[in-house]
Amino acid sequence: MQGEECILLIARGVIVAALLYALIRLLISRSSTTIDRHRLPPGPRGFPVVGSLPSLGDMPHVALAKMAKIYGPIMYLKMGTLGMVVASTPDSARAFLKAQDTNFSNRPPNAGATILAYNRQDMVFARYGPKWRLLRKLSSLHMLGSKALEGWADVRSTEVGHMLEAMHEVSRRGEAVALPEMLVYAMANMIGQVILSRRVFVSKGKEVNEFREMVVELMTSAGYFNIGDFIPWLAWMDLQGIERGMKKLHSKWDKLIGNMLNEHLKSTHVRKAKPDLLDSLLANRDGDHEEEIKLSTTDIKALLLNLFTAGTDTSSSEVEWALAEMMKNPSIQKRAHEEMDAVIGRERRLLESDIPKLAYLKAICKEAYRKHPSTPLNLPRISSEACVVDGYHIPKDTRLSVNIWAIGRDPDVWEDPLHFNPDRFMSGKNAGIEPAGNHFELIPFGAGRRICAGSRMGMVMVEYILGSLVHAFRWELPPGTAEMDMEETFGLALQKAVPLAATLTPRLPSHCYAAS
């Protein structure tokens, strides 16, 4: 019996020791976790496994803005198995996008970048490095830079002329104008002429609407918080069906861009005197070029996808929001008309050279950027190394989201932020603020190394197109419409939930609406 008791005592001792060891390890783990949490920015506890993902809902920018009021301007969220830090004020945005710009110069991998953007071979999601710099350099040199923009001013003028002519015809028939279709038609043709030396659409109709639907679907689906991106071991299940939709959409875009590329290759001789952007990209792919890196056909397709989608969607949505606010606030539209009549008169169309003299128009554009930023949450970035921001520890591989929408509606930054008031930019402390990425109170295009490459183009197109539409017409709600619907739809770009339709009254002589 003594031997059996001895064995039993030893067994009990081993069990007790094992339990004590497990308890000590648990206490140490909890202690270190507590210490680590004290070092991390504050934030919600979240749910087991999924973290704070369910808390974001259908309008993540709004949910995150509400959280920031509780946890502060820099907050840390557990998103599935990953960490995300959110900056919600100008100072916190500056701390990341300026002081830590190099460390946060890359994008995190996600389904949208992998499926839609040709496995991150585009300019938006490419890793920060030689290929990204080459794509940006070629795009700037031939399309997006200041000198390039001046070179295709006549293209913008011609396409705006076509749009005004079409709108004038609709107004003469007494019909309401469907603005989004008109804007996409004009902007896609502008971009097509610079990239491909030809208009993408000859006439409006089914083809234009399908293109717009593809653009909106891409910008919407790419903005989703996809469960598989944050809980990788669940990615194969595609619980939300997002990836299935992305694959179908990518096939449509790949076919469209492939057709553009093939048609372009058949007509090279036509453009020898004046090569376009695609000619330059193909020269890098095929010829002896001074660049270290050669672009592949897939790289070129990915870049064209960026330019056609972001180039049409973000600018068109900004013009749409600005006009909606002006229709909701007739006194603002009246004042814009008075300024334009004094500067331009009513005997000719607005010219781009008029815009520097139209201070109130520029203020309207800034106010639209503030209240309705085309990108409510900046495209995500990821930390290459651990760092300290405002005394908080930010671990390596932490995703960064800057809530541009929240910054624009922060009452500590803007007086009466929910009121659309262009006068806030006409004088006082805000008069010198510009949306080019240097003033963190107004960063609709982001800031730092990964600022939107098309920010200059976006500002030029928004000011010129909005100014032309306002100068040419008086904008009113269609008969029977009680009030303007200002609901939002979330995506990479902030869409108006109900597309803008308006009744137009021409303000200029008929000859001003001729496309030529």
Which parts of 33-182 are beta strand (E)? 74-79, 82-87, 177-178
pLDDT at residue 22, rounded to an integer? 41
Residues whose CB falls within 8 Å of the CB of residue 428, separated by 6 or more in sequence, listed in order: none
- Rounded Cα distance between 332 and 422, Å, is 8
Select 37-121+128-513's CATH number: 1.10.3720.10, 3.40.50.2300, 1.10.630.10, 3.40.190.10: 1.10.630.10
Q: If you average pLDDT over residues 94-107, what whole number do you get?
A: 97
Is residue 292 over pLDDT 60?
A: yes
Is residue 372 over pLDDT 70?
A: yes
> For residue 70, what are the CA distances in angstroms to 5, 18, 234, 386?
60, 42, 31, 25
What is the percent of the chain with per-residue pLDDT over 90, rounded to a whole number? 78
What is the percent of the chain with per-residue pLDDT over 70, rounded to a whole number? 90
- Rounded Cα distance between 25 and 324, Å, is 60
Is residue 2 over pLDDT 90?
A: no
pLDDT at residue 44, rounded to an integer? 96
Annotated binding-site residues for heme read 452
* DSSP bridge pairs for 381: 400
pLDDT at residue 70, rounded to an integer? 97
Contact 85, 398 (CB under 8 A): yes
Lowest mean pLDDT, pick from 170-179, 278-287, 325-334: 278-287
Is residue 158 over pLDDT 50?
A: yes
Is residue 30 over pLDDT 60?
A: no
Instruction: Give the pLDDT band of residue 304 (cuts 50, 70, 90).
Output: very high
Instruction: Return the structure tokens found at 131.
Output: 């290929």
| Cα-to-chain-centroid distance, residue 476 | 28
221 against 381, higher pLDDT: 381
Which parts of 177-273 are beta strand (E)? 177-178
pLDDT at residue 293, rounded to an integer? 82
- Rounded Cα distance between 334 and 119, Å, is 48
> For residue 300, what are the CA distances in angstroms to 116, 211, 304?
14, 20, 6
Is residue 93 over pLDDT 90?
A: yes
pLDDT at residue 438, rounded to an integer? 96
Is residue 35 over pLDDT 60?
A: no
Q: pLDDT tens digits for 389-447?
A: 999 999 999 999 999 999 999 999 999 999 999 999 999 999 999 999 999 999 999 99
pTM to 2 decimal places: 0.89
pLDDT at residue 471, rounded to an integer? 98
Annotated binding-site residues read 452
Instruction: Give the pLDDT band of residue 480 (cuts 50, 70, 90).
Output: confident
466 against 199, higher pLDDT: 466
pLDDT at residue 17, rounded to an integer? 37
> For residue 346, what are the CA distances in angstroms to 114, 258, 342, 368, 505?
50, 44, 9, 25, 14
Is residue 57 over pLDDT 70?
A: yes
3-state secondary structure 158-205: HHHHHHHHHHHHHHHCCCCEEHHHHHHHHHHHHHHHHHHCCCCCCCCC
Is residue 38 over pLDDT 60?
A: no
Per-chain mean pLDDT for the chain? 89
